[in-house]
Amino acid sequence: MTRRSMSKRAAIVTVTSVLALGTVGTVAATAGPQGDAKPTKKQIAALFDGWNAALQTGDPKKVANRYAPDAVLLPTVSNEIRTDRAEIVDYFEHFLPNKPVAKKVETYINVLDGNSAIDAGAYDITLTDPKTGVKRVVEARYTYEYEKRGGKWLIVNHHSSVMPEG
């Protein structure tokens, strides 16, 4: 092996090593902070409380802000599946005049990782007829799937349906 071929080989090994290290560094940087810890079940439960508080404002846009732009909402009192912000706002424009107040009856929270969790169970939703003031309780089951996007926890899937044997 000549001195020139040895130099070429050393240069190729060096470039390959630098590229490999650069790739590893890039992967580590895009994977997120190493200190990202899983949220607690209590922290995930508080997301529901925030959603419920948004209902109390009576503002459909504030409620819709709790949802990701590409969220899917399978609502309690509508047969229409909502798949974008405008449709979710529309649902809450019609739902919020009933002054809904949700209260969890049973809950099961699964923290999947530092950026996703599922909260499923049963809740009672008290609705007030806007014309008569008469209250009724809707017993329903629910599932909220949350994702942390841009540092903010958002609902990406929300299913709520009246209990079939209620």
Where residue 133 falls among pLDDT bands split at 50, 70, 90?
A: very high
Q: Give 25-65 pLDDT, tens digit per residue.
A: 333 333 333 346 899 999 999 999 999 999 999 999 999 99
57 close to 140: Cβ distance less than 8 angstroms: no
Residue 142, phi-psi category: left (phi > 0), alpha (psi -120 to 50), beta (remainder): beta
Where residue 7 falls among pLDDT bands split at 50, 70, 90?
A: very low
CA nearest 53: which of 116, 1, 91, 102?
102
> At residue 8, does pLDDT exceed 70?
no
Q: What is the pTM of this model?
A: 0.77
- Give the number of other Cβ atoms within 10 Å of residue 56's Cβ: 14
pLDDT recorded at residue 11: 42
Q: Give 66-125 pLDDT, tens digit per residue.
A: 999 999 999 998 999 999 999 999 999 999 999 999 999 999 999 999 999 999 999 999
CA nearest 158: which of 137, 142, 147?
142
Following CA atoms 9, 15, 19, 20 in sequence, which dihedral angle do they give, to the nearest 10 degrees?
40
